[in-house]
Chain A
């Protein structure tokens, strides 16, 4: 009987042995093609060079791929004990696999019929971190195990533990124990106290849930659990644990991921990756010197947040004022350098960069290009008179287009400058009708606007999306009196040895003569002095400035774009979902009320202490005062006058009396008749 039992057992052993050998061989043959080669050393696995991004004022605004690998001697023994206690208590006794932990995990997984427990040792985790995806499946698990076996026979325990401590993720963007210590405690890894070490050791397993910045209680609970494990594993004594629990733990201030520079950084990276590829940017160990001025960026953020906060109390309750968004771009006119670029109110809430996206309509901000096209191709001047009256344009195969003025009032005859000051839609539409969309698009292209522009008449009212970056750049051409500088964000790139790889050269192109653009600039100065943008002056901004407001249908977009001699700044405010911006009293928010105050806050700070520089008047320009209704030099019957800048050859001489009489106010007509003999 015993013999038979032994015989049976013998067969079982043979079969089991054969099956084991065949299984292991089969698995190896099957997976060997996908098993990765191990490096010669684990010391250099963290040493890809970081890419650093600097602002123009010398701040290091972002580092990509920065790691702080440390030797095991520079890691606190408290931490080493803690991480071993919680992650792999038998680390020093196994060879890559912990049988007990594995059997426990197998049972748990078998019961739930899915992988809920890994039972991974530190070596297995290192294997996974170095080579494999984070997807949980059996094949990956076996590969991970095989590589762990090899790691164990190739490297010492200390080397494996050191590599592991330098690799793991601790949450809050911290990789490796040194960075984690700095991030959470502003301390070196070698100086971690027992409680700090226990708290950190709890993070790799749940970097978000146990993040002390977000869930301090959970983090403490986990730290206590780890201290208990350390006691049970005889790594510390109970009295040490008690002392640790009674010790004080001070967290560092969390890194603010809403860093306002990050919108700018994103755009820099996007541009570089487009030209050179991702590898160059992330693994090149570059030093990227940008045009950003961090002070300007701070002013932009502060100005935007303050004003959006102020609007919060005014906006209708049903619209979520928290979601009101903003974008701001400031460009140095003489070079095209982007000095500030704010893509939203809070980077940590939304990384969508509204400063460079072109999906918002500029509204009346586009009108200067229509006016310039008319002045160029129709020989119009700011003194040219256009009739502001209701009108309709028949469009073949479509509904007639009937543009409306913002306030639905009509001024009758009006000079172009006054029309731009009041942002009269009818006048812009009439100009567009006369010149045609193609010419206007050509003009916009000369100003550097690259976004697709619709070939339709409503373009006169800014119905094609443009980004704040484009508008700021286009307006800087006006400030420069015709010189277009391609906006740029990167001044210079160096490799890690300081060799220059790229540098930006000034590429100014004279697109228009100064005497062509100055009349337009003067008109836009009028917008700020007496037009729709006069809030700029009311808020106390005293530098010579010009600009244009923009508000789209239904108050979906509010713009203010303006410039001084040195800086052009574009500000957009609106909801991402195109909701109307209305106050509790039903009044819509316009470019003047929603965007211009941000522009003023920003520009006031940016130009603080700087000399007020006037726009230079080019040769061949004359400044004159004309009658708003006739566009000619005023006479005693002129009711409203306006100062304009026109080319020397523009004739402004008054109309002959015969032409004048029918145009004057009816009340004055009789008096004119009486005066006529004496005038003659």
Chain B
């Protein structure tokens, strides 16, 4: 009994010592706070990102993701606009409700790159010079509303300095004036007996007056700048519902480093006859037309 009492006493003293030690350590070293703190630090990665600070981070991330998405979409639009290779494609790309913006430089490139004078139906080069002289024209915007297309020449604040309203028909006319196809003349259904070597045709073209030259052939610069090497010229019919055989189409075939292409130019029948009559190989086209069918459709 006495022994048990002593043992308890020893235990009690030990307890008091432990408690005192704990209190001492807590008082002087903040043992409890540190223990909990280190444990929480050890577990930190397992805990969720909650609270105002993380919420702000999350919102910031959402905002940045949204900005990134808008930028990507705008970049795509810009790349698409930059990738437009012809005036025809520019008009084809404009969908109702989705305005299309291209830079002034791009527009001028497409405008003057058009193989002919069709682009002048949109705006004359003199009007372009006039717009440019104000030093305000920065970009070009196309919008489509029903059967109308609005062309706006915008200043730096996006205010139109000049506007042109065109009907879709006018646009289609421009598109149809001259078009480019990949492939050979045969691939576009030109008959072999109506295909001529370029060497046979060029002397005839050279002999024409400038107005006629422009009506049947683009500025030679157009081929030269692009490294298009002329090979052959063909002639075929365009058949329209109302007035068949009033127009023919010239196909000017050229080679590039990568492919063969054909520039198609509608030409009045009389003019075509006149040119063809000067080429040895040619007979009168109207006569030869009698037993031939329509060759192909020019306008896509």
Contact = CB atoms under 8 A, between A and B. Distances in A.
Interface in B54-110: 54, 56-57, 59-60, 62-64, 66-67, 70-71, 74, 99, 101
B138 to A, nearest CB: 11
A362 to B, nearest CB: 30
Given A35-B47, A146-B36, A491-B157, A10 B63 contact: no
Interface stretch (A149-157, A183-191, A582-590): A149-157
Contacts of B99: 505
A6 interface: yes
B56 A37 contact: no
A476 B53 CA distance: 47
A234 interface: no
Given A6-B12, A500-B74, A504-B158, A153 B47 contact: no
Contact of A501 (B12, B37, B70): B70
A3 interface: yes
Interface stretch (B13-21, B201-209, B214-222): B13-21
B159 A280 contact: no
B50 A48 contact: no
A506 B157 CA distance: 10
Contact of A6 (B9, B18, B51): B9
Contacts of A285: 63
A10 B141 contact: no
B50 A34 contact: yes
B64 to A, nearest CB: 7
B71 A495 contact: yes
Interface stretch (A92-100, A220-228, A381-389, A644-652): A92-100
Contacts of B101: 505
Q: Which of B40, B52, B141: most chain A Cβ within 10 A?
A: B40
Contacts of A28: 36
A306 to B, nearest CB: 32
A45 B53 contact: yes
By Cβ-Cβ distance, the 10 closest A-B pairs, closest first, are A6-B12, A131-B51, A153-B37, A149-B37, A95-B30, A95-B33, A150-B40, A10-B12, A284-B63, A10-B15
Interface string A273-287: 000111110111110
A149 B34 CA distance: 7
Given A95-B37, A506-B152, A13 B52 contact: no
A488 to B, nearest CB: 11
Contacts of B15: 6, 9-10, 13-14
Nearest to A503: B158
20 contacts: A6-B16, A7-B9, A10-B12, A36-B51, A37-B44, A38-B44, A39-B53, A96-B30, A150-B36, A150-B40, A152-B37, A279-B59, A282-B63, A283-B59, A284-B67, A285-B63, A286-B67, A501-B70, A502-B70, A506-B160
Given A37-B49, A149-B33, A279 B44 contact: no
Given A9-B16, A277-B66, A36 B54 contact: yes
Nearest to B78: A500
A2 interface: yes
Contacts, number: 164
Given A3-B5, A38-B44, A150 B66 contact: no
Contacts of B48: 33, 36-37
Contacts of B49: 36-37
A514 to B, nearest CB: 15
Given A34-B50, A499-B71, A506-B159, A48 B60 contact: yes
A536 to B, nearest CB: 29
A24 interface: yes
Interface of A: 2-3, 5-7, 9-10, 13-14, 24, 28, 32-39, 45, 48-49, 94-97, 129-133, 146-147, 149-154, 276-280, 282-286, 334-335, 491, 495, 499-506
A680 B14 CA distance: 141
B19 A13 contact: yes
A503 to B, nearest CB: 6
B11 A10 contact: yes
Contacts of B160: 506
Contacts of B13: 6
B12 to A, nearest CB: 3
A28 B18 CA distance: 24
A401 B49 CA distance: 66
Given A150-B41, A279-B63, A95 B34 contact: yes
B56 A153 contact: no
Contacts of A10: 8, 11-12, 14-16
A495 B68 CA distance: 10
Nearest to B54: A36
Given A279-B60, A491-B157, A501-B74, A152 B33 contact: yes
Interface of B: 5-6, 8-9, 11-16, 18-19, 30, 33-34, 36-38, 40-41, 43-45, 47-54, 56-57, 59-60, 62-64, 66-67, 70-71, 74, 99, 101, 141, 152, 154, 157-160
Given A36-B50, A37-B47, A130-B53, A6 B60 contact: no
A278 B63 CA distance: 9
Contact of B30 (A94, A147, A282, A495): A94
A206 B59 CA distance: 29
Contacts of A491: 157-158
Contacts of B159: 334-335, 506
B8 A3 contact: yes
B63 A153 contact: no
A505 B36 contact: no
A505 B60 contact: no
Given A279-B66, A495-B71, A153 B60 contact: no
A36 B47 contact: yes
A34 B47 CA distance: 8
Given A130-B52, A491-B157, A97 B33 contact: yes
Nearest to B73: A501
A153 B41 contact: yes
A649 to B, nearest CB: 25
Contacts of B18: 13
Given A13-B16, A95-B33, 17 more contacts: A2-B9, A3-B5, A3-B8, A3-B12, A10-B16, A28-B36, A32-B47, A36-B49, A38-B44, A94-B30, A96-B30, A149-B40, A279-B59, A279-B63, A283-B62, A501-B74, A505-B99
Given A13-B19, A284-B63, A501-B74, A6 B56 contact: no
Nearest to A7: B8
B11 to A, nearest CB: 5
B67 A146 contact: no
Nearest to A5: B12
Contacts of A97: 30, 33
Contact of B62 (A13, A34, A133, A279): A279
Contacts of B34: 95, 149, 152-153
Contacts of A278: 59
Contacts of B50: 34-37, 131
A468 to B, nearest CB: 24
Contact of B59 (A149, A151, A282): A282
B227 to A, nearest CB: 35
A146 B35 CA distance: 11
Given A13-B15, A154-B41, A506 B53 contact: no
Nearest to B20: A13
B12 A96 contact: no
Task: Tell me which of A2, A13, A335 has the highest count of chain B C-beta atoms within 10 A of its own C-beta.
Answer: A13
B84 to A, nearest CB: 19
Contact of B158 (A33, A131, A505): A505
Contact of A283 (B6, B36, B60, B154): B60
Nearest to A332: B159
A9 B12 contact: yes
Contacts of A35: 40, 47, 50
A606 B158 CA distance: 23
